[in-house]
Amino acid sequence: MAKHFLSLADQSTQELRALLDLARMIKLNPSGYAQACKGQTLAMIFQKPSLRTRVSFQTGIYQLGGQGLYLGPTDIQLHRGETIADTAQVLSRFVDGIMARVFAHADVEGLAEHGSVPVINGLSDLLHPCQVLADLQTIEEKKGRLAGLKMAYVGDGNNMAHSLLYGGARMGMTVSISHPRGYAPDAEVTARATAIAAGTGGAVQVTEDPREGVADADVVYTDVWASMGQEDEHKERLARFEGFQVSADLMGCARPDAIFLHCLPAHRGEEVAAEVIDGPQSVVFDEAENRLHAQKAIMVRLMGR
């Protein structure tokens, strides 16, 4: 079993299956895991602010019998006088696990390399594995399976697209990424996901045509067009992403019983039409809730007594 949770590509299909099963059991019987991390402390490093990540991790570790320690940008000295290696080694003397929401993916890798406690990637500019574990849990709840389904992501080839590629490929799904020209997912990520899918019966498709990407999809997914740290590109991206809004018309290219997912926060009228995200096919709030259960499963697996 992997000691850390940095990337879904590092988890085997069996490990992901076990995490999804554990997340389902925790959701069904939360009281049965109320002491699973008794006395454990999770250091929560936030270079980027967040509603869902902070509340779900802090609530989750508390519900498991432990406590979360919030460390915001002014509480730590990462890249401002202290190295990643020093931070990792110091925190490892105090806490039982580290969750980090950072800019550079190398930072979470450095924490894992130099620390002696489990490290969870709460988000990096490259990957968002916790969100996708919750997404897979949500899809399985709604569809009864993962293998053989088509999941279509529309928008920027960002950290969400990357983790959806890895997670979907690991679980035998067809993952389609539709992106505007110049905003393709990372080539190395796409290649690795394609190789993973070849061993699981899944497939990877990357296209600049959103209608082609969404055709016959069981799941349609999108994310904001300008992520945190890209605010100065917002106006340009609005123009470049024209035609990539998940509208009712685009949803019509998917299967009639397709579900709509979004990691939130959402900008209605930009990447998604209000009638879609607020409509009957949307399961975004069930998806948001599952961040709590999926992350509790990760903490039980890595930190549980």
Just list the catalytic residues.
101, 128, 131, 223, 263, 291
Q: Is the CB of residue 88 less than 8 Å from the CB of residue 98?
A: yes
Helix (H) / strand (E) containing 167:
helix 159-170
Which residue type occupies 172? G
Q: How many Cα atoms within 13 Å fall on the side-chain side of residue 26?
A: 31
Structure tokens at 296: 């509790």
Residue 63: left (phi > 0), alpha (psi -120 to 50), or beta?
alpha
Q: Mutual orientation of helices 52-63 and 284-303 as an angle, nearest 10°?
A: 50
| Helix-strand-coil split of the chain, %, nearest 5 | 45, 15, 40
Closest among 100, 170, 142 to 290, alpha carbons compared: 142
Length of the chain in residues, anyone?
305
Beta-carbon count within 10 A of 67 CB: 15
User: Rounded distance, CA 95 to CA 66, Å?
Assistant: 11
Closest among 116, 60, 121, 120 to 91, alpha carbons compared: 116
Structure tokens at 288: 């948001």
Q: Is the CB of residue 139 less than 8 Å from the CB of residue 161?
A: no
Residue 98, phi then psi, degrees to nearest 5: -130, 130
